[in-house]
Amino acid sequence: MKGISCNSNVLSDLPVEKAIYLLAEYGYDAIDICLELTPPFDPVPTPHMSPDDDNAKRKLVFSSAQKAGIAIATLNAHTNICARDSQARAANIQFLEGAVQLAADLETHIVVTSGGGKDAYGYEQWFFEWAVDTLKQVLPTANKLGITLAIEAGSPPGCLIYNIETMRKLLDSDGLDSVRVLFDPAHYFIRGDSPIDAFKVFSDQIVHMHAKDATGDPENIIFPPLGEGKIDFDALFGVMSSVGFDGYIAAEYEAFAWDFAKDHGHVLAKEKKFLDHYVAKYFK
């Protein structure tokens, strides 16, 4: 594996360049930069970057990462790629294409998005077709620039891609050969799939991991700090090691939405200590 990253959403009250230096201070190897406009959290984290950012902002972020000695592992650009409204889908296509260009400018190679949510009455197959069409329109730009689009499953009700079966259906769709998987064990757990089984099924297509714990079900979702949920990370990391996972493992702390600790120092140190233990055990 490449190292330990961190989703920048937990540092949304800091400018991205300060978030970069803080992560380096706590020993992280990389940062996942958040572009998401409306994640399902309260409070909603402020996006650290946007496809509309000018060249000066792009150069500042790139140079900050270089000076801090950490990589930009991914851009997190979740948007509703299966929105029923055609104008909304057009705007989301433009957002993703902009995220792909931003990734190229920052010299990162992965843009993460999701299948989106079924936001109106309609046949589920329609939503799959809209999601596939959206990806097909963005992929030519991504492939030209050498950027991988990675799809993350989601666990809230209404998500189009939420378990092994629906992820497999999307990946098997014609024209999506270059699409890969962002693996987050918490979503599979919430939807009743074994995270270990999910990793085994998609191991050849997983390019990045969000490390997040979970307990509950789709109507009672809880993402507590690492080690305080029900995911068996010891077994999971063992499987990841056995298949030679070679991507980044990113701490994704969303526990603030359930009123767990928000202090930057406490969160960054505790999450990294948890991951360091398993990385040392299985990857070193």
Per-residue pLDDT tens digits for 179-230 = 999 999 999 999 999 999 999 999 999 999 999 999 999 999 999 999 999 9
**In whole angstroms, what is the distance from residue 182 CA to residue 28 CA?**
19
Tell me the pLDDT tens digit for each residue of 209-221. 999 999 999 999 9
User: Which residues, listed in sequence order, are joined to residue 149 by a DSSP beta bridge?
Assistant: 111
Tell me the pLDDT tens digit for each residue of 31-47. 999 998 777 777 778 89
User: Mean pLDDT over residues 239-245, rounded?
Assistant: 95
User: Mean pLDDT over residues 154-179, rounded?
Assistant: 96
pLDDT at 174 over 80: yes
Say what percent of the chain tops pLDDT 70: 100
Tell me the one-letter amino acid at 71. Answer: A
Domain, as residue range, for 178: 3-283
With H, G, I as helix, E, B as strand and everything else as coil, classify residue 179.
coil
Residue 121 belongs to domain with CATH number: 3.20.20.150
Q: What is the pLDDT of residue 251?
A: 98
According to DSSP, residue 5 is labeled E
Q: H-helix or E-strand containing 217?
A: strand 215-217
**In whole angstroms, what is the distance from residue 83 CA to residue 249 CA?**
30
Q: What is the pLDDT of residue 207?
A: 98
Say what percent of the chain tops pLDDT 90: 94
Number of domains observed in the structure of the chain: 1
* Neighbouring residues of 59: CB distance < 8 A, sequence distance ≥ 6: none
**In whole angstroms, what is the distance from residue 54 CA to residue 197 CA?**
42
